[in-house]
């Protein structure tokens, strides 16, 4: 069952307000403050906004269009062309109806997610902010789930390779071994007779360290006190 997102989660998401007008900044921040949003960052220029975005990407950008230097359209385009920020919702905030008509198409062409005009209506702003943050939260959850699945698939592939390699080694050591009853040499699949250590070295990853067992030591070297 899918987990429902709660409003407190949305209230803790980061919102960046980009506007060169201090009055507009104060108005937007005041509305969001009163509606419980706790992480609000202010930028007074496009340059300052981009620095903040690259340093710590927000979950939502409220963006004014007309600003000195880097304007809103350019900020929007740069955010969209950067892989790490391309999915951040951008809510364009602009002037009256005439200005909005002229800016609407260009805003969406630049990559805006939504559009709101001044004078700001509290209900409209809060509703659009909530909708945008909900979309961002869903995207982040989906991306995180996809990342976990990809990691699981890689681990699964790694395990399969390891099991296949183990199976190859097991097959090398499986079946009946033709062994001489007298000299204990083993016949390989090409018909050649090999010492046991030679055969195992060629058919496994076993290496050998030669020693003398106690019985052989007593038989061949009776003077060795270590075996008494």
pLDDT averaged over every residue in the chain: 82
The beta strand positions in the chain, using DSSP E, are 14-18, 39-43, 60-64, 90-94, 114-117, 186-187, 193-194
Q: What's the pLDDT band for 186 if we cut at 50, 70, 90?
A: confident
pLDDT at 20: 93
pLDDT at 179: 74
Rounded-to-integer distance, Cα 64 and Cα 44, Å: 10
pLDDT at 177: 64
Where on the phi/psi map is residue 32: left (φ > 0), alpha (ψ -120 to 50), or beta? Answer: alpha
Where is pLDDT greater, at 228 or 220? 220
Is the Cβ–Cβ distance between 93 and 118 less than 8 Å?
Answer: yes
Tell me the chain's radius of gyration from C-alpha atoms. 36
Is the Cβ–Cβ distance between 118 and 94 less than 8 Å?
Answer: yes
The residue-averaged pLDDT of 16-31 equals: 95
Is the pLDDT confidence value at 4 over 60? Answer: no
State which H helix or E strand residue 123 sits in: helix 122-173
Q: Which two tokens stand for residue 18?
A: 């980009």
Neighbours of 64 (CB within 10 A): 26
Is the pLDDT confidence value at 61 over 70? Answer: yes
State which H helix or E strand residue 53 sits in: helix 46-55
- What's the number of CA atoms in the CB half-sphere (13 Å) around residue 173? 10
pLDDT at 131: 94
Q: What's the pLDDT band for 227 if we cut at 50, 70, 90?
A: very low
Which residues, listed in sequence order, are joined to residue 1 by a DSSP beta bridge?
none
Rounded-to-integer distance, Cα 146 and Cα 96, Å: 42
Threshold 0.75, pTM exceeds: no
The domains located in the chain, with CATH, are 7-147 (3.40.50.2300), 175-227 (no CATH)
pLDDT at 152: 80
Q: Which of 65, 57, 53 is nearest to 19 (CA)?
A: 65
The residue-averaged pLDDT of 84-90 equals: 94
The residue-averaged pLDDT of 92-117 equals: 79
Where is pLDDT greater, at 219 or 27? 27
């Amino acid at each position: 069952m899918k987990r429902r997102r709660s409003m407190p989660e949305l209230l803790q998401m980061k919102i960046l307000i980009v506007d060169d007008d201090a009055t507009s900044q104060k108005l937007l921040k005041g509305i969001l403050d009163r509606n419980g949003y706790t992480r609000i960052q202010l930028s007074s220029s496009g340059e300052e906004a981009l620095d903040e975005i690259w340093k710590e990407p927000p979950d939502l950008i409220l963006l004014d269009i007309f600003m000195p230097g880097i304007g809103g359209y350019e900020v929007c385009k740069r955010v969209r062309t950067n892989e790490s920020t391309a999915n951040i919702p951008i809510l364009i905030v602009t002037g009256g109806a005439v200005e909005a008509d002229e800016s609407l198409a260009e805003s969406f062409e630049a990559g805006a997610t939504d559009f709101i005009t001044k004078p700001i209506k509290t209900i409209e702003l809060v509703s659009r902010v909530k909708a945008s943050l909900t979309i961002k939260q869903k995207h982040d959850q989906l991306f995180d789930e996809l990342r976990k699945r990809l990691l699981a698939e890689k681990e699964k592939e790694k395990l399969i390779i390891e099991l296949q390699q183990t199976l190859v080694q097991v097959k090398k050591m499986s079946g009946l071994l033709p062994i001489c009853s007298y000299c204990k040499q083993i016949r390989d699949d090409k018909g050649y007779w090999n010492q046991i250590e030679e055969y195992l070295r060629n058919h496994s990853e076993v290496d050998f360290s030669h020693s003398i067992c106690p019985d052989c030591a007593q038989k061949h070297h009776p003077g060795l006190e270590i075996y008494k």
